[in-house]
């Protein structure tokens, strides 16, 4: 026969009085302690240095990679520390253009260990008609000071989610993140094997051609680079066309036992999504870089018809401040806020990170499906991501951050 256990319940009042006694005991222990003890939280201090709210740096070198691409080398200014990052992540650079603040995410192209020397690099391609890259080409010189924060994004290798062999599929300037991963492999050994499939228009558009070949040659077979050209010049003997299922299977023998990282233009993402489905690749083994902003959203077949030429009003509430601004239905809410000088702190500009998360109080917005990173619980409570949402009527929003 089992023995009965005796349990004594003190009751609500005794428990409450015990709590008051505990507080007195704690205060007595504190009073009896050494008043000169160092209470500095060194872990928090180091974390603040490595993940600062803002990093001030200056450009110490500019290198032409192709006729339309440059690598900018940053050196942290005194008092700032280059942020720790994982190879494959991006930073958010802040620009003051014509008196108004805007942000842009750029992948880091340098190796994480370079931050030990206060060095970080980004590689930019000048986009035709690009608002920010055009300004950068005209204004960034050696000695120019820059402001950014980060790093962000999940386009890096992780042992708990990724396979030992990674296939990086890049298009255009999307190769920048893979340069960082390839350079980091020399010391980190992560991942064990890295196959780069790099799509470019012609030989002249290939970024880091010689450098990537040198890295691959020194890797003992751990890194391989394959170029695929859509408009090759005469004499090209490599792969041609677009990177899809057929080319992947041809160049990657173990194509069904790898993790795929994708970084490039939006049409590449849309195309490869269909190719991966055709190949039967599970989503858990596909990592796509943030989708980014769409230059002309009306080209999307999902964009609501009849709204292309519409303009609306946005009532913006920030704390006790209220302002009403103009907005086009073809501009994201973030772009409209930036044009009005009310830029929120937006890092990814792809609806993924949630830094610009705001509350929709009235009206209707259309959230681009490819960049709808809003959590279900947020949607239920009226929150949305302004960087990937377009006004479909007059709206009232409450923003939670400002640059």
Residue 392 reports pLDDT greater than 60: yes
Q: Per-residue pLDDT tens for 314-348?
A: 999 998 899 999 999 999 999 999 999 998 888 88
Q: Where in the chain is the domain with CATH 2.40.30.10?
A: 48-152
> What does the pLDDT read at residue 119?
95
The whole-angstrom distance between residue 330's C-alpha and the CA centroid of its chain comes to 23
48-152: which CATH topology?
Elongation Factor Tu (Ef-tu); domain 3 (2.40.30)
Task: Specify the pLDDT at position 35.
Answer: 79
Q: In what order do the strands lie in the sheet with 100-107?
A: 100-107, 90-97, 145-152, 55-66, 69-76, 119-125
Q: For all residues of the chain together, what is the average pLDDT?
A: 90
Q: What does the pLDDT average to over 7-11?
A: 61
For residue 48, give every residue at least 6 positions away whose Cβ sits within 8 Å of its Cβ, in sequence order, or none: none
Q: What is this structure's pTM?
A: 0.85
The 10s digit of each residue's pLDDT in 272-314 is: 999 999 999 999 999 988 767 777 888 888 899 999 999 999 9
Share of the chain above pLDDT 90, in %: 67
CATH number assigned to the domain with residue range 165-288, chosen from the 4 options 3.40.50.80, 2.160.20.80, 1.25.40.10, 3.90.76.10: 3.40.50.80
Is 324 in contact with 314 (CB distance < 8 Å)?
Answer: yes
Distance separating alpha carbons of residues 314 and 332, to the nearest angstrom: 12
Domain span(s) for CATH 3.40.50.80 in the chain: 165-288
Instruction: In the chain, list all ranges with CATH 3.10.20.30.
Output: 311-399
- Domain 311-399, CATH class in plain words: alpha beta
- The better pLDDT of the pair 34, 180 is held by 180
Q: How confident is the model at residue 108 (pLDDT cuts 50, 70, 90)?
A: very high
Are 244 and 272 spatial neighbours (Cβ–Cβ below 8 Å)?
yes
Distance CA 373, CA 153 (A): 13
Q: Is 401 in contact with 344 (CB distance < 8 Å)?
A: yes
My answer on whether omega of the bond before 21 falls inside 30° of 0, hence cis, is: no
Element (H, E) at 367: strand 365-367
């Amino acid at each position: 026969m089992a023995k009965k256990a005796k349990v004594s319940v003190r009751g609500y009042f005794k428990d409450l009085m015990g709590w008051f006694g505990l507080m007195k005991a704690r205060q007595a222990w504190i009073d009896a302690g050494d008043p000169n003890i160092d209470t500095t939280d060194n872990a928090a201090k180091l974390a603040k240095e490595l993940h600062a709210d803002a990093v001030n740096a200056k450009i110490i070198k500019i290198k032409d990679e192709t006729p339309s691409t440059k690598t900018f080398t940053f050196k942290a200014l005194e008092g700032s520390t280059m942020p720790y990052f994982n190879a494959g992540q991006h930073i958010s650079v802040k620009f003051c253009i014509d008196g108004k603040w805007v942000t842009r995410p750029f992948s880091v192209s340098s190796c994480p260990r370079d931050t030990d020397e206060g060095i970080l690099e980004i590689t930019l391609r000048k986009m035709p008609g690009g608002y920010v890259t055009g300004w950068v080409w005209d204004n960034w010189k050696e000695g120019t000071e820059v402001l950014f924060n980060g790093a962000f994004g999940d386009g890096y290798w992780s042992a708990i989610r990724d396979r030992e062999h990674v296939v990086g599929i890049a298009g255009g300037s999307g190769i920048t993140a893979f340069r960082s991963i390839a350079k980091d492999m020399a010391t980190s050994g992560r991942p064990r094997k890295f196959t780069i499939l790099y799509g470019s228009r012609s030989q002249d558009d290939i970024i880091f051609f010689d450098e990537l070949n040198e890295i691959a040659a020194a890797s003992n077979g751990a890194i391989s680079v394959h170029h695929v050209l859509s408009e090759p010049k005469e004499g090209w003997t490599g792969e041609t066309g677009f990177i899809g299922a057929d080319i992947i299977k041809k160049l990657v023998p173990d194509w069904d036992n790898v993790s795929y990282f994708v970084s490039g233009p939006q049409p590449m993402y849309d195309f490869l999504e269909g190719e991966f489905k055709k190949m039967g690749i599970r989503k858990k083994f596909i990592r796509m870089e943030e989708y980014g902003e769409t230059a002309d959203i009306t080209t999307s077949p999902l964009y609501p018809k009849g709204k292309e030429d519409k303009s609306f009003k946005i009532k913006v509430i920030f704390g006790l401040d209220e302002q009403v601004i103009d907005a086009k239905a073809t501009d994201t809410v973030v772009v409209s806020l930036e044009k009005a000088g009310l830029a929120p702190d937006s890092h990814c500009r792809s609806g993924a990170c949630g830094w610009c998360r705001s509350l929709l109080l009235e009206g209707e917005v259309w959230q681009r499906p490819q960049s709808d990173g809003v959590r279900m619980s947020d949607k239920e409570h009226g929150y949305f991501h302004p960087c990937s949402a377009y006004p479909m009527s007059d709206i009232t929003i409450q923003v939670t951050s400002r640059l």
